[in-house]
Structure formats: C-alpha cells, structure tokens
Amino acid sequence: MRLTFKITLFFIGGICLIMAWQGYSRIDRESGLFEAQMRRDHYALGQPLAVMVRYGREEFGEDFALELVERSNQASERLRVRWVWAQTGTLERLRPEAPLDLNVLLEEGRAVSWIDRDQIDAGRLYTYVPVVVEEERVGAVELSESFAREQAYVRASKWRIVWTTLLMLVMASGLAMVTGLLFIARPVDALVARARSIGKGDLKTPLKLDGHGELSVLAMEMNLMSDQLVGASEKLEEETAARIQALQQLRHADRLKTVGTLAAGLAHELGTPLNVISMRAAMIEDREVEGDEIERNARIIGEQTSRITKIIRQLMDFARVRHLSKTRMEVGPVVEQAIELIRPIAEKRQVTMELSAEPQAFASDVDADQITQVLTNLLVNAMHACQKEGGRVEVALRAVRQAHPEEDEGQERDFVLVEVKDDGVGMREDALEQIFEPFFTTKAVGEGSGLGLSVSYGIVREHGGWIDVTSVEGQGSTFGVYLPIEERA
C-alpha cells in the first residue's frame, strides 16, 4: 500500500509540474498577445483621430479640434482620449513616470507607447500619436487604457487552469490508486504474506499470481525457492537423523567398552559373595549345620545373592541403550554412583578415590545415565593414568560462576563443577589440543578407542555445559565438567 501511495504521489507531482509549466506559458503568451492587441487598437484609433484633429484645427479652429477629442473620449468607456502638448516639461509634469526621451520621439513625428505598472488600477497603457500644429509646436493625441480587463482575463485563465488541474489530479489519483491496488499493492501484500509464512516454516503452500509481470515472475521464483528449501530441509533432517543415530551408536560403543572394563574389575567383586554362597551351600548339603544354623546360612546365601544381583543390575543398566532424557536432580548422588561403579577396579589397582563436595546441594537438568557415563570415562582414564601403585584420584564438587567459553555474549552464569584430578603421567601440550577429537588417544595400541572423551564432550554440550582440561607432563591432569545450575523454585 505504501508503494502504491508513493507512486501516486510521484504521478500527481509530475502532473502538477506539467500543468504549472503549461499554465504559466499560456498566461504569459496570452498576456503578451493581449498587450499587443491593445497597442494595435490604440494605433488604429489614434492615427485617423490625429489626422482629423489636425484637419479640424486648420479648417475650423482649435476649439473644434478639442471638442472632437472630447467626443472621442466620451465614445468609449474603457478608452480614455485627450489632447496634450509635446513641449519640454509638459509631459514630464503630466506623466512623471514617462520615459525622458518621449518628447524627442514625438517631435520626430513618431508614435510611441509606454506602460505604467505602478498605478492602483492594475496599470495603464499610454499611446501618443503626434500632431504637428505649427512649425515649432507639436501636440499629441493621448490614448490610455487600463489593464484591468487583461488582469480579469488572466485571473479567469488561472482559475480555469486550477480547476482543470484539480480535476485531472482527482482523476489521475483515482486511476493511480486503483491501478496500484490491483497490480502492485495486492501482489506485494501476497508476496509479503508468503515470505512471512516461509519464515514460519510453511514451505509447501504455493503462491499463485495472475499475469506475466515481474511480480508474477517473483512469485514463481519464490515457489521454486520453497521447493528447493523443502528438499534441502528433508535432506538435512535425514542427515541429522543419521548423525544422531551414529552418535548414539558411538556412545553405546563407548559405554560397552566401559562395561568391559567394569566387568573385568567386578570379577573380583563377585568372587567374594560367590565363595560365601558356595561354602554355605556345601555346609548345608553335607549336613554340617543343623537347626537354626541352616536358616542362618540360607539367609546369608540370600543376602550374597542379592548383592550379586545388584552388582549385575547396575552393570546392565549402565550398558543399556538410552535416549537423552533430562530430569531435574541433584548432581552429588550421580557423582557418588559413578565413583561406586569404578571403586572395585580402583581398589584392585590400588588407586585411592576420594570425593570432596561442598555442603549445599546443586540441582541441574541432567540425564543421570549419560552424566554417569561421562564421569565413568573420566574416572577410568584418571585411574589408568596412575601407572604406579598407590595412585590417587580426587573428585571435587563445587559451584562456580563464570561465562560459557562457547557463547558470544560472555555473560557469567552459575555452574556446578565436577573436577576429576589424578597424579598420573600427565599429557604433552600437543596432546591437549587434540584430546577431544574422535579416535585420538594417548594410550597404547589396543588399549583405547579414542572415543571416550569425544563422546563425553558431546554429552556435556547437550546439557548446556563443557569440559576443560589442564595437564602438566609428569604431574597429572585435571578434567573439569561444567553443568548449568538450576535454581530451586
């Protein structure tokens, strides 16, 4: 609509300029013609009157000549006629505004005219026709006429031009508005509406515009763009689904690898209750116990079986394929669960694991199983880094406030930080730069897949956090897991 309004204004402005120029030219031309016609009328009347005045003066005397001039003056309402002498000082006294050389021209026998525009009644045209009365005296017949009639004609012409211009403007504005609405505003509004619907994700509703103009071509191109976007969107969805599936497979593979590590460590953990069960069952079978002892041994066998079942269930739950499912919970228990999963292996390798946590609880929206997988990976790596017996792995849980390193705003927020620190061999500077790349590992061939840290970093990023690492070769490494804190309502 605004485009139509602008075009209409431009159209109207052009018409106004053309009509103004045409009106000015016409009025100027007609004013000149009107003035030239007045001069011709004056000469046409003044020349024969001058001849008659001269002849009457010579034949009948001066009074007859003056009476002839007076009758001529009375014969016309708009034209004023009178007799004047052309001696020096006479015309200057009667017409101070007259040109100074007027007397000279009259004495030379030439008829002259001049215009006095300074008068109140729109100015007058004066014409002097010389009459030689005596050898040394020259008179003149003065004819004067007001420009009031010309001014009236000019005013009438101006009003005609104004009304004609207004009529043309109304007609042109109506025509421009109707044309603009039909051929510009409606198609443009349809294009804008379609662009907004595309912005909202509606790519399958085509836009149809009649005609073969530029806007129709634009609508066709917009439909073609929408079709291409649909194809690109579908392809992107397929690629995203494939990427998610591949990522889930990688995570599951990493989880299974961790399960293998845990299973090796849990063999010793399961050995103790299995030995207890075997011994108690043999005592009952050989009838070495009687009465209440049989019941007590059966209860011990049940307790050890429950212990084995719990250990196996934890291992199976950890290995099960799960999709991301965040739940608001405390982070502390998740850290404790991860430590408990790794503790049997650590004890077997004589590695000490300690947890230090701030007293307050930290709630966050997390997937407990996936965060457990992250912490388990970090704990296993820390334990492997402690190559000497008597190694130490410290886990710290506390709140920090800092900006997310991957966000442009740089606004500080509250995070819960889980630090896993070991006193192992550490890493070189070049290894730190690649530590989170897939398939990169500092372990010997066959001991690591290089997926653990890459998968862990992806999981933490999906939770809105990140993992950083500091390491000094020969002194150990520290991995920090940052998870956004959710304030309690």
Three-state secondary structure call for residue 387: coil
pLDDT score at 123:
80
Fold of 2-154: Beta-Lactamase (3.30.450)
CATH architecture classification, 325-489: 2-Layer Sandwich (3.30)
pLDDT score at 395:
92
pLDDT score at 153:
80
Residue matched to tokens 């034209």: 79
pLDDT score at 264:
55
Token pair, residue 478, equals: 């520290």
Question: What is the residue extent of each domain of the chain?
Answer: 2-154, 203-321, 325-489
Q: Distance between CA atoms of 252 and 445, rounded to whole angstroms?
A: 21
Q: How many helices (H) and strands (E) does the chain have?
A: 12, 11
pLDDT score at 311:
64
Beta strands in 368-427 (DSSP E): 392-403, 412-422
Q: Distance between CA atoms of 56 and 58, rounded to whole angstroms?
A: 5
pLDDT score at 419:
93
pLDDT score at 463:
86
Residue 166, CA distances (Å) to 15, 16, 20, 399 in order: 10, 9, 12, 78
Full strand arrangement of the beta sheet holding 138-146: 79-85, 138-146, 124-132, 112-116
Cβ neighbours for 318, distance < 8 A, ≥ 6 positions apart:
255, 258, 259, 262, 341, 369, 372, 373, 376
Return averaged pLDDT per consecutive 10 residues of the chain, 489 residues in all: 68 79 83 86 88 86 86 85 72 54 72 75 82 75 84 82 82 77 75 81 78 76 83 84 73 61 57 69 74 76 74 59 72 88 82 83 81 87 79 90 77 89 85 71 53 78 88 89 74
CB of 375 closer than 8 Å to CB of 463 = no
Token pair, residue 136, equals: 């040394």
Q: Distance between CA atoms of 275 and 269, rounded to whole angstroms?
A: 11
pLDDT score at 229:
83
pLDDT score at 135:
64
Residue 57, CA distances (Å) to 63, 149, 157 in order: 8, 34, 45
DSSP lists the bridge partners of residue 85 as 139
Q: How many residues does the chain have?
A: 489
pLDDT score at 446:
43
CA torsion sign for 230, 231, 236, 238 is: positive
